[in-house]
Amino acid sequence: MTTSVPNGFSTHARFALVAACLAVHAAIGASALAQEPTTRPRQDIQGAAPGFKESTKLNAQLSFDASFRFRGDLKDRPGEVSVFRGGGALTLTAPVLERNRLSVTMGTEQSYYDFSGSTVFMPGGGRPWRHIQSYTVGANFSTQWSEKFSTFLLGSVDFSGEKSAAFSNGFTGGGGGGFIVKLTETFDLGAGVVVRSRLGGGVTVFPIVGIDWRITPQWRLSNENQPGLYLSYTPNERWRFSLGARYDRREFRLEDDNFVPNGIGRDEQVPVTFGVDYSPEPTITFQLRVGAMVYQNLQVRDQNRNKLVDTGVDPALFISGGLVLRF
């Protein structure tokens, strides 16, 4: 599918890029139909062309998401854990001059961990954390240089920590950029790099690698704006089905009175999901996902990032859903 923009340039069908560890934590993309519901806002790196049909109009997208990970046993210590997450994001996208667009996102995610049983991460310590709150502000500036080549610049500032964690100690930020090239009429390839600060000091460099292969008008293989891979089937404008997996990682500052004062918590996950999207109208989409958390690892580090605890969690089922409104 192509549309036209000023000066005769034609835009690509929607691109899908993914940061390998996606610590970008920013906005959801410009179309809900090509995304996995997740309570974490994602950066809009879905394509550098401004090719909206309303090319002179401000576009807004509001999303709400929730998920529940059923209980799983800790692998090398007593106890079990379940996780409920809820959140939302607002993305504003507008053209800037010719063949450029700017997206700005504000979002939040609230995570509630329920450690049950005799969960003790360290001698003399109690349950590691409960309520984790995350907030983000991100932006993406993209440019289409030709019919087949586009570039993007992105950045974000984020806070993530326990409810009573010192606010000034939970901030990270960073930015990066890359390019998207249209190799064929049905295959787009993207690459780039993101550099981000870390809780406890230092920086991390993440590669960006993305593909978008439109196998047929109904079948598509894509990263879907995430560190993963999804095969989707769209029989008509209202329904979309997908199957895939992604990698997800969260780091957050612990409270001053935690058993590791001012420490750092980390949660790594690999969910495998089957999804259904339903759009009764072009401006609204309902999303439902069911699947299994096939990998999960929890860590605790001190304020200098020295690892103190490293434990896996047995696989368990999860369910998630979302609502996306476009204006």
Higher pLDDT, 37 or 233: 233
Helices (H) and strands (E) in the chain, counts: 0, 16
pLDDT for 37 equals 62
pLDDT for 123 equals 61
For 193, the token pair is 């790099």
**Residues in a beta bridge with 266:** 251, 299
Exposure letters 291-306 (e unless 16+ CB within 10 A, then b): bbbebbebbbbebeee
pLDDT for 256 equals 83
Higher pLDDT, 14 or 327: 327
Mean pLDDT throughout 251-273? 91
Q: Would you list the domain boundaries of the chain?
A: 6-326
pLDDT for 125 equals 62
Q: Which residues contact 140 (CB under 8 A, 6 or more apart)?
A: 26, 27, 43, 44, 45, 102, 103, 152, 153, 154
Mean pLDDT throughout 167-181? 90
> Is the pLDDT reported for residue 157 higher than 70?
yes
Mean pLDDT throughout 268-287? 95
What does the pLDDT look like over 53-108, one tens digit per residue? 445 688 999 999 999 999 999 988 888 999 999 999 999 999 888 889 999 999 99
Of the pLDDT bands very low, low, confident and very high (cuts 50, 70, 90), residue 193 is very high
Cα-Cα-Cα-Cα dihedral sign, residues 191, 208, 243, 30: negative
Alpha helices for the chain (secondary structure H): none
pLDDT for 244 equals 94
pTM of the model: 0.82
pLDDT for 110 equals 95
Higher pLDDT, 54 or 123: 123
* CATH class for the domain made up of 6-326: mainly beta
What does the pLDDT look like over 23-42, one tens digit per residue? 233 332 323 333 456 555 44
pLDDT for 45 equals 42
80 with 30: CB under 8 angstroms? no
324 with 87: CB under 8 angstroms? no
DSSP 6-42: GGGPBPPSPP---BSS-TT-----S-GGGS---SS--
pLDDT for 56 equals 63
287 with 256: CB under 8 angstroms? no
What is the distance between the alpha carbons of residues 268 and 253, in angstroms, rounded to a whole number? 15
